[in-house]
Chains A and B, each alone.
Chain A
Amino acid sequence: MSDQALSLTLFVVFVLLTLGITVWASRQTKTAADFYSAGRRISGWQNGVAISGDYMSAASFLGIAGLISLFGYDGFLYSVGWLVAYLTVLLLIAELLRNSGKYTMADVLAYRMRQRPVRSAAALSTVGVSIVYLIAQMVGAGALVKLLLGLEGDAAAILAIAGVGVLMIVYVTFGGMIGTTWVQIVKAVLLMAGTVLLSFLVLTKFGFSMNKMFADAATASGKGDAFLAPGLRFTSTIELVSLGLALVLGTAGLPHILIRFYTVPTAQAARKSVIWAIGIIGSFYILTTFLGFGAAALVGQERIKEADAAGNMAGPLLAQTIGGGEGSFGGDLFLAFIAAVAFATILAVVAGLTITASSSFAHDFYANVMRRGQERDEQAEVRVARITALVIGAIAIVLASFARGQNVAFLVGLAFAVAASANLPTILFSLYWKRFNTNGAVVGILVGLIGSLLLVVIGPNVMGPKGLMFKGSDPLFPLENPGIVSIPLGFAAAWLGTMLSREPASEEMYEELRVRALTGLGAEEAEVAPAPAAAPRTAR
Chain B
Amino acid sequence: MGYERQDPSRSPTTGRMPEEEAVTATEAVGKDPEMVELEQRHSRFVWPATAFFIVYYMLLNILAGTSPDLMGRKLFGEFTFGYLFALSQFLMAFVVAWIYSRWAARRMDPLATDLREKLHRQQIKEAAE
Contacts and interface: CB of A to CB of B under 8 A. Distances in A.
Given A87-B97, A92-B46, A523-B12, 11 more contacts: A73-B83, A87-B96, A91-B50, A95-B104, A225-B72, A237-B61, A272-B101, A279-B94, A515-B30, A515-B119, A535-B12
B33 interface: no
Interface in B56-103: 57-58, 60-62, 64-66, 68-69, 71-72, 74, 77-80, 82-83, 86-87, 89-90, 92-94, 96-98, 100-101
A521 B97 contact: no
A243 B54 CA distance: 13
B120 A90 contact: no
B42 A518 contact: yes
A384 to B, nearest CB: 15
Interface stretch (A75-83, A151-159, A451-459, A461-469): A75-83
Contacts of B42: 518
Given A77-B60, A244-B57, A286-B87, A226 B9 contact: no
A236 B65 contact: yes
Nearest to A531: B5
**Mostly helix, strand, loop or mixed at chain B's interface?**
helix
B21 A512 contact: yes
A501 interface: no
A211 B115 CA distance: 55
Interface string A354-388: 00000000000000000000011010000000000
A83 B112 CA distance: 29
B65 A536 contact: no
A77 B120 CA distance: 47
22 contacts: A79-B86, A80-B57, A80-B86, A84-B57, A86-B97, A87-B49, A87-B50, A91-B46, A91-B49, A111-B8, A210-B78, A214-B78, A215-B78, A230-B82, A278-B94, A376-B3, A512-B22, A519-B112, A519-B119, A521-B116, A525-B120, A535-B5
A5 B126 CA distance: 71
Contacts of A91: 46, 49-50, 96, 100
The 8 closest A-B pairs by CB, nearest first: A229-B72, A237-B65, A511-B30, A214-B78, A244-B61, A230-B64, A211-B77, A102-B8
B119 A228 contact: no
Contacts of B96: 87, 91
Contact of A102 (B6, B86, B116): B6
B86 A511 contact: no
Nearest to A285: B90
Interface in A65-104: 73-74, 76-77, 79-81, 83-84, 86-88, 90-92, 95, 101-103
Contact of A520 (B50, B101, B116): B116
Given A508-B26, A519-B115, A521-B120, A218 B58 contact: no
Nearest to B105: A268
A19 B33 CA distance: 53
A225 B79 CA distance: 11
A199 interface: no
A91, A234, A235, A248 interface centre (most CB from chain B within 10 Å): A91
Counting contact residues on chain A (CB < 8 A from B), the size range is: 35 or more
A518 B39 contact: yes
Interface string A233-249: 01111111101110010
B72 to A, nearest CB: 3
Interface of B: 1, 3-6, 8-9, 11-15, 18-19, 21-22, 25-26, 29-30, 35, 38-39, 42, 46, 49-50, 53-54, 57-58, 60-62, 64-66, 68-69, 71-72, 74, 77-80, 82-83, 86-87, 89-90, 92-94, 96-98, 100-101, 104-105, 108-109, 112-113, 115-116, 119-120
A308 B29 CA distance: 59
B71 A73 contact: yes
A474 interface: no
A271 B79 CA distance: 34
A282 interface: yes
B74 to A, nearest CB: 8
A76 B53 CA distance: 18
A211 B79 contact: yes
A33 interface: yes
A509 interface: yes
A243 B30 contact: no
A268 B61 contact: no
Contacts of B54: 248
Contact of A519 (B1, B22, B26, B116): B116
A464 to B, nearest CB: 22
A327 interface: no
A313 interface: no
